[in-house]
Structure 1
Amino acid sequence: MALKNLKRAAAAVAAMAAVGVGSGFVAPSSASAATQNTGFISHWYKGAYFEGQADNNPGGGSESWIWAADYTHGDGYGVQVNVQHTDGSYSTWGPALDGTATRGLDKDIRRFQLCVINWSYVNQSCSAWKYL
């Protein structure tokens, strides 16, 4: 009896899927096809771990928002965030040293990356760019 019910449920799902396709409903081919409002990056460098996040719809009066975290304390490294805005301009924010930091921005973000810096503010390593 359970097998019969399972077959009926599968047939009903297949019928609904056929109706959805026949009525012009098309699912996006991938999540990247749609515009993303947020992005997340994690980055490792010589045993140190960093994260960053950006949001183009944060609320609270800012056009965009960035957050960075340095999770490996006392190692002589910090993280800064490089941002390309949708108007083509660039900005650099940070560093976050031995903890987390956030910042509201007055322009939307096109892409961002994390860069590991040492205590002398010399760039050591950058992540790939993350597009929003």
Structure 2
Amino acid sequence: MALKRLKRAAVVTAVAALGVGASIAAPLSASAATQTSGFISYSNGGAYFEAQVDNDPGNGAAAWLWQADYTQNDSFAAVTHVYYKDGSYASWGPTWNGTGTASLPKDVARFQVCKWAGTVNYGCSAWKYL
């Protein structure tokens, strides 16, 4: 009789653990699948930059990019590197002393904003994945 109760308790515990695991995993995978936009910022040597990408902008474009250089008159600019979902790459910018936007031709897989002056890259944010 004690062995039967032990087996039943083990089955109930296993089912309960499976139910808890499923409820934790479902929201994480659902939120990752529905993320269509992302935002990043980058600060370097007193310069501050931001970029945002939206893969569902509602304006007819496949994707939309906004970038900003918030540090005025320092000769640095914001440039955004974009990898599309098909594996191709594009670089957008430069944007000096303000903001800029672009309608992108394809959905974005990842992007980063960088600090540029002329043709020199002075550093970039981490990649933001969509």
- Measured against the shorter chain, the TM-score band is 0.7 to 0.9
Q: For each residue in 1:48-85, what CA deviation from the matched residue of structure 2 results, as whole angstroms up to 9, or x when unmatched?
A: 11110000000111000010000010011101000000
**Distance across 2 between alignment mates of 1:31 and 1:81:** 28
Q: For each residue in 1:83-113, what CA deviation from the matched residue of structure 2 results, as whole angstroms up to 9, or x when unmatched?
A: 0000000000101100000000110000000
Q: Which has the larger radius of gyration?
A: 2
Query: Which amino acid is the alignment partner of residue 112 of structure 1?
Result: F
Structure 2 unaligned residues grouped into runs of 5+: 1-18
Secondary structure in structure 1 of the residue aligned to 2:126: coil
Does the aligned pair in 2 maintain the 1:28–1:34 contact within 8 Å? no
Task: Please name the residue that 2:119 is paired with.
Answer: 121
Q: Please tell me whether residue 107 in structure 1 is matched to residue 116 in structure 2.
A: no
1:1-132 matches, within 5 Å, as 28-29=27-28, 33-118=32-117, 120-132=118-130
Deviation, structure 1 residue 33: 3.4
Greater fraction helix: 2
Aligned-pair identity (%)? 53
| Distance 1:87-1:32 versus aligned 2 partners, 3 A rule | same
Q: For each residue in 1:17-63, what CA deviation from the matched residue of structure 2 results, as whole angstroms up to 9, or x when unmatched?
A: xxxx8xx9775137763341000001001011111000000011100
How many residues align structurally? 110
TM-score for both structures, normalised by structure 1:
0.76
Structure 1 unaligned residues grouped into runs of 5+: 1-20
Does the aligned pair in 1 maintain the 2:49–2:114 contact within 8 Å? no
Aligned Cα RMSD in Å? Answer: 2.1
